[in-house]
Structure 1
């Protein structure tokens, strides 16, 4: 078997572990990681660059659009997808395979996270309009195939986060969509886009629910970074562009219409 990826600063301990495992299994040392589970890793004096170029290229080849034109955006402005728009697909296998592959591809290029989240909601009711959007995503991927994540060696260890929502953007159930991302210095380390489970009566309520989700992720990142030896001497800012949600977070007096989000208030 190939030698698994082992990291850390205890070189003696790592070598001892490798020697012990070599006595238990037939292994070989691959040395510096360059390709792992579809990820390409490039190391330079600036830091590490992580991409899925080969994985994306194989996906485009499987979809048969390797020689097709590229587009500048994965989704046209103000497009709303509904479960009953378009004709039913006679064979949904291709759609499901492509969407599943795109979900894995969102690990490195977060710019397609929103639209992949959108098309993945129609896996049980697949129609022609949904498939057209999947093809648009692939044409966009073709033009951005070399994009990835850059982790800077000289970056600071300051953690900051950004939170936002699309209020009642789903035309079917009118639920809002939470979005957040986290930077450690100049490096993007975490992001997510998820539909909220309830319908918010206002954009302020929806923004505040998103702040609660962002706070939960922030606590988890604090625990994770603390476990690997990254200290935090200051609080972590969460940036939100909704003034009402920010005021609610700073005000300990609840108005009658805000009582239903009291749990989220205390959590933040």
Structure 2
């Protein structure tokens, strides 16, 4: 569970009308600890909060500006896309980078930007795979990500106020996506009502022998995530009444995911790739 998941969930839950509970919780905490009410949230750990009539908008424009400035790319030419989808990053392509410490520092800083920029998750995860021995092509990919950020400084995450408490997840996998290890990639995103609250893109720890196996592993990760979220909402006195739906585009993985124990709580359904 990423920090982006829990922070976004709490903000969304607050937008769903949890103010009375928040006031009661604050009063109980004040009875035990010395607290200072700082008022409405506007800025927290590099995340800026803009209140709207329909919810919140979270962004990291200031953080992105500082990141580009430290990388010496504040005035770079913006890029329209994050990565070149037609090529893959190999571990041994090109020459070893001369400044590995800067690579690790910038890539590490980029990871924090994914708290409000889920569309960067996959691209940044790819360059993270080469932190131990970055090469020139890896540096070029990092610079392309920074150029994309330069042109999308105002992007962020919208959390919508809604009475809906249903949880819907989407899962996918890229079989043997890593050109070096042939490990597959797993990806998922989770919606709480109309708001995106959790997202993930990571390499699977073992080699999958088929696309169905890779997709099943991805579904298992998504189910673990939504199960955690369901229990968190119960602890927050906001139980989920409906069954959680996890969508997958692989029919074999859907059949493999049939589990009588989870019947009534989690349903894995098929969704066509074209949708």
TM bucket (normalised to shorter chain) is 0.7 to 0.9
Aligned to 2:23: 11
Match of 2:77 among 37, 62, 69: 69
Aligned to 2:133: 125
Change (3 A) 1:20 1:238: closer
CA–CA distance in 1 between the matches of 2:85 and 2:192?
31
- State how many pairs are aligned: 244
Aligned to 2:149: 141
| Structure of higher RCO (CA pairs closer than 8 Å, 6+ residues apart) | 2
Compute the displacement of 1:8 (Å).
Answer: 6.5
Compute the displacement of 1:248 (Å).
Answer: 2.6
Match of 1:31 among 30, 33, 39: 39
CA contact (8 A) 2:167 2:226 kept: no
Residues 112-191 of structure 1: pairs in structure 2 closer than 5 A = 112-154=120-162, 156-191=164-199
CA–CA distance in 2 between the matches of 1:10 and 1:31?
12
Q: Deviations over 1:183-228 (max 9, x none)?
A: 0111001111111111111101110111111111111111011111
Task: Report which of the two structures shows the higher radius of gyration computed on alpha carbons.
Answer: 1
Compute the displacement of 1:9 (Å).
Answer: 2.4
Say which SS state the counterpart of residue 9 (structure 1) adopts. helix
CA contact (8 A) 2:165 2:192 kept: yes
CA contact (8 A) 2:162 2:194 kept: no
Match of 1:87 among 82, 86, 95: 95
CA–CA distance in 1 between the matches of 2:168 and 2:145?
29
CA contact (8 A) 1:155 1:187 kept: no
